[in-house]
Chains A and B, each alone.
Chain A
Amino acid sequence: MFFFIATAAGFAGYYVPLHFNALLSLLAYGISDAQSATIFVFCLTFSCLACSLLSLRQGRKNRDLELAIAGGYAACAAAVPLLFLAVPAIYSAARPFLWAVLLLLCAALVLRDENKKAAALVMAASGCLGFLVLFFSLCDNALLALFSGFFGFSWEEQQAQETQGLGWPVLFVPLVGMFLVMLPAATPFLAQPLLSAALPLAGAGQSAALVVGKALYDLCSAFAIGRGRSQGSVMLADAGADVSSVFLGIALGFVSLLCAIAFCKIAPRPGNRTRRVVATAGKAVLACLVLFSCGLWGLLIAVAAAAISEYASRAGTHRGMCLGSLYCPAIIYPLGLAPLLARLVLGY
């Protein structure tokens, strides 16, 4: 029952550019049974993710992308035992230095950007906003307010990239996914410098496979390294799910992902006008959601985030730089700079 509801709900990702975590916030409320929560979270996540990735493609290019999504998931699922056996020890040893890795990757992102000045500005500004919001706990559900502003209120038509077959790099995807799951606040965007260094011809296929694999490892993170790397992971831990139910979730998640791929083959593609209407309605719903769950201060945070995200777009840099809102606090805390910055804000 939960499998069908979650898989069908994920199909919304084909029509509305809504992140699966936002959908989980809306729909998974009140599911407290461990097994039901596991099935719901895995199935909705991968159904929605596959639909979102495939909604950007048309025609023959879809086939390569479908293979990349399914292949990436299968490769990462096969490597899950490695995540549970090897990654905890590596994470424990590398934990004191993870802030430095994060700092290096952020610097690489900025230096690789076409507009370095704007990229640095967006990274720093979103970092200030992230620190302020998270450190002083200015509203409930602060991450919802931040990410609605950064990526929800400013949806834009994304350009389809050239998709190439996945090929042998499918072996590389689980390793990058496991590396990312160790870093706090890491997203597949952060791995772009790594991907382009290792795979100079990496296209949309490799990126999609990595997005799917990272989402899978994020859901397992609370059980593998004791850290919830996504909202779904926290939901699973809160519901009391165990490792065996996670493996069940991985299997059913793959079935949901295949159902979503099949759905995208037969579903009518919405026209541009319909997409604009749906996107506008979606923004209104998102604004109401932020107001309802985060209050007026949450809405103000979302406006600030939307402004810096819009600046990134106008200045010709990547919106992913807004993730500085998470990267910067994750670098600042281990360095012990948080008290200094807090005194600065408080005027002491």
Chain B
Amino acid sequence: MKPKTCLLVFSVCLLCLVLKARSAEISYSSSLDGLPQYAQVASTGGIVYRSQTGGAMLCMGGCVRLYGSNAPNGSRANVIGVWTGRKDNSITVVRESWTRPKS
């Protein structure tokens, strides 16, 4: 395989992976009333963590997805945050969205 072909294959695969990373389930976006911008995530050494807003999953490498249950009208909050690396396990919210409840 020629070097340029290798780079082409790599670029196509990387693009697909970027699209996969961006494909969070979002149907409706709004402000995040009720969810703190800096959520505290308890670190106990496991994979699944609990936060004050509901369940939270700390993925390998530091990406945090919070699923809040305190959203108004029962809608589901989906937050993607970044672990700041600090010992208090605080996260910086990168992306936030609401999912409307099915009526």
Contact = CB atoms under 8 A, between A and B. Distances in A.
A137 B80 CA distance: 12
A136 B95 contact: no
Nearest to B65: A137
Interface in B7-60: 7, 9-10, 13-14, 16-18, 20-22, 59-60
Interface band, chain B? 20 to 34
A152 to B, nearest CB: 16
A303 B22 contact: no
Interface residues of A, number: 35
A133 B16 CA distance: 12
A135 interface: yes
A303 B13 contact: yes
B72 interface: no
B9 A304 contact: yes
A308 B20 CA distance: 20
A329 B21 contact: no
Given A132-B21, A345-B18, A304 B85 contact: no
Nearest to B94: A342
A348 interface: yes
A8 B78 CA distance: 50
A133 B13 CA distance: 12
Interface stretch (A74-82, A259-267, A310-318): A310-318
Contact of A315 (B3, B22, B80, B84): B3
Contacts, number: 94
B62 A345 contact: no
B61 interface: yes
A301 interface: yes
A334 B60 contact: no
B82 A339 contact: yes
Contacts of B14: 128-129, 132, 304
B55 to A, nearest CB: 16
Given A132-B21, A346-B94, A311 B82 contact: no
A250 B17 CA distance: 41
B1 A310 contact: yes
A136 B63 contact: yes
B80 A314 contact: no
Interface of A: 125, 128-129, 131-138, 142, 297, 300-301, 303-304, 307-308, 310-311, 314-315, 329, 333-334, 336, 338-339, 342-343, 345-348
7 contacts: A129-B17, A303-B9, A307-B6, A329-B61, A333-B61, A342-B94, A348-B94
